[in-house]
Amino acid sequence: MGSFEKIQEREGGLKRQLTSRQMTMIALGGAIGTGLFLGSKFAIGLAGPSVIISYAIGGLIALLLMGSLSEMTVAHPTSGSFGAFAEHYVSPLAGFLVKYMYWSCIVLAVGTEVTAVGEYMKLWFPDVPSLLWVIFFSAVLIGVNTMNVKVFGTLEYWFSSIKVFAIIAFIVLGAYIVFGARTEGTGFQNYTAEGGFFPNGLSGTWFAVIVSIFSYLSIEMIAIAAGEAKDPATAVKKAFRTTIARLLLFYIVTLALILAIAPVSQILAGGSPFVTVMQNLGIPFADSLLTFVVIIAALSAMNSQLYISTRMIFSLSRSGDAPAVFGKLRTNGAPVNALILSTTGIAIATVVYAMFPETAFTLMMAISMFGAMFTWFMIFVTHWFFRRSMKRSGTELSYKTRFYPVGTILGAVLMLAIGVSTLGTSAFNMTLIFGLPSLALVTVLFYVVKRRKRHSDPGTSSGQGEESNTVRKTAVVPSENSTNSTVSSRLSAAPLTDDDENDLTASNATSAT
């Protein structure tokens, strides 16, 4: 294959305005959403108190994933991220599958967040149809994502700050109640009070890992945001380190405290475990305050997911694997056409919510899970190919994970096992039923697009971006303060006019319309 610089050049034009602080908060914003505030209840129902172990296993996989992804991202910061890495280091088909499956996963995940917003607004406004809230908040966040990335980053920073502050406050309060006040009915005896620590056996603990993966989903978006970071190498390394530590603390410590404060039966009888605990303690207005935080969490995650799904379809367009119209940029650097396409998850969620109001959240979570699990699995596979390529070419990486090769192999095996396990629980049996045919369909689409490329450019026999799978002697490994390839820096230095956008799109992506 050729140099990775070609991929970075074709994805140029996005503005580099995100700081490392904003990138950290963007990742936290995506990962701390309904998976923690609402999905954790579902996980507790599967595993009981042993859900703590479930989230620890999910956290281990997330840690290994972030290590693998950080290496590749520091070497090649681009908005196509792990999709572009798979295309370059594994095969064009692998890149095509990763980008489309991840995009579909995130688009559907947006639907789970907006469904949760509608559900929680009913607590305050029971007479107002949830659909109105879905439409209102969707319009606001779509508007934010049409602005430049700095506006998005600033809003997401404050969204995430509210969530982080609320979780820290909850941890402090919970710790005081369990270890200081020792209120009656609270304590670690609740771990074994109703059916023991493993009420549904080890299988229940393992099935809850599936929910934990959904909860941690979106931590990988730091790698996508690196394409718009001011100093990608420095920002990525800092964001990776702080994000994984905070996520593990927030998820595992909060779940441990929730289960110590309220028995499992009481948690399952309520809505969000956080709200249930506050109601159980009788703290005035605490449940309303936490409901506000849960809504902010869902809006924040939805905002982040709209951002990353837009960048992924933008990358597909620039590689010629999606219609060229989705690779166009406004003068402020926002890929608005790609954003419009990425809002389809909101429409799907609205229909699902109208048809299945009681099970809409879990159904949307189940069908979106396949894309997430496939993407995480392929990130580990791609990292294996990446490291082998670096070794053969004699390239010295400026940033290395400590977990290769054991962590890379272990992560891939665990993700494969989790994928197969979805067949064992009724809540997630739609994951593979929906996912495998989707994967087959996208594979067929790849060859259709490939053939169309070949016909549009008879001089190429293998299509754009598809070269022989040889060792890359020209791999780009920037220093810590490097920002991107020369061309990408030049492109992002000046705003593109509409004419510039059309020229850039025509030269870097073959129209599939």
CA terminus-to-terminus distance, the chain: 27
Helices first, then strands: H and E counts in the chain: 23, 0
- The continuous run of DSSP H or E covering 413 comes out as helix 406-421
- Cβ partners under 8 Å of residue 222, min gap 6: 23, 24, 26, 27, 69, 73, 236, 239, 240, 243
484 pLDDT band (50/70/90 cuts)?
very low
Angle of helix 360-393 relative to helix 406-421, nearest 10 degrees? 150
315 pLDDT band (50/70/90 cuts)?
confident
pLDDT(496) > 60: no
Q: Tell me the two tokens of residue 49.
A: 């108190």
If you average pLDDT over residues 34-58, what whole number do you get? 86
User: Percentage of the chain surpassing pLDDT 90?
Assistant: 17
79 pLDDT band (50/70/90 cuts)?
low
Residue 321's φ and ψ, nearest 5 degrees, are -100, 5
Cα-based distances in Å from 268 to 113, 120, 191, 380, 388? 20, 16, 14, 35, 48
Of 33-42, 89-98, 207-216, 481-490, the one with minimum mean pLDDT is 481-490
What predicted TM-score, i.e. pTM, was given to this entire model? 0.79
If you average pLDDT over residues 185-209, what whole number do you get? 88
351 pLDDT band (50/70/90 cuts)?
confident
Q: Tell me the two tokens of residue 378.
A: 């392929």
DSSP calls for 252-286: IIHHHHHHHHS-HHHHHHSSSHHHHHHHHHT-TTH
pLDDT(67) > 50: yes
Type of residue numbered 158: W
Closest C-alpha among 495, 17, 29, 19 to residue 306: 29
Between 107 and 418, the more confident residue is 418
DSSP calls for 203-259: HHHHHHHHHHHHHHTTTTHHHHHGGGBSSHHHHHHHHHHHHHHHHHIIIIIHHHHHH
Alpha-carbon span 259 to 485, nearest angstrom: 50
Of 81-95, 134-148, 218-232, the one with minimum mean pLDDT is 218-232
**Cα dihedral 32, 38, 44, 45 sign:** negative
Strands (E), 292-373: none
If you average pLDDT over residues 365-392, what whole number do you get? 90
Neighbours of 151 (CB within 10 A): 16
If you average pLDDT over residues 135-161, what whole number do you get? 82
pLDDT(475) > 50: no
Q: Are 247 and 24 in contact (CB under 8 A)?
A: no
Q: State the pLDDT at residue 512.
A: 40
Q: Are 323 and 506 in contact (CB under 8 A)?
A: no
User: Percentage of the chain surpassing pLDDT 70?
Assistant: 80
pLDDT in tens, 416-470: 999 999 888 877 888 888 889 999 999 999 999 888 877 776 554 444 444 434 3
506 pLDDT band (50/70/90 cuts)?
very low
pLDDT(197) > 60: yes
159 pLDDT band (50/70/90 cuts)?
confident
Q: State the pLDDT at residue 357.
A: 66
Q: State the pLDDT at residue 15.
A: 60
Between 71 and 455, the more confident residue is 71
Domains of the chain: 5-426+475-508 (1.20.1740.10)
Residue 18's φ and ψ, nearest 5 degrees, are -90, 135
pLDDT(411) > 90: yes
Give ∠ CA 330-29-87 in degrees, rounded to 5.
Answer: 60
Q: State the pLDDT at residue 50.
A: 94
282 pLDDT band (50/70/90 cuts)?
confident
pLDDT(73) > 70: yes
Q: Are 288 and 279 in contact (CB under 8 A)?
A: no
pLDDT in tens, 163-195: 888 888 888 888 888 887 777 778 888 898 888
If you average pLDDT over residues 259-285, what whole number do you get? 78
DSSP calls for 352-411: HHHH-TTTHHHHHHHHHHHHHHHHHHHHHHHHHHHHHHHHHHTPPPSS--SSTTHHHHHH
What is the average pLDDT score of the chain?
77
495 pLDDT band (50/70/90 cuts)?
very low
Between 463 and 233, the more confident residue is 233
pLDDT in tens, 47-61: 999 999 999 999 999
Alpha-carbon span 12 to 501, nearest angstrom: 10
DSSP tag of 194: S
Closest C-alpha among 66, 86, 68, 253 to residue 170: 253
Q: State the pLDDT at residue 408.
A: 94
Between 300 and 479, the more confident residue is 300
pLDDT in tens, 234-255: 777 777 777 777 777 888 998 9
Neighbours of 245 (CB within 10 A): 11
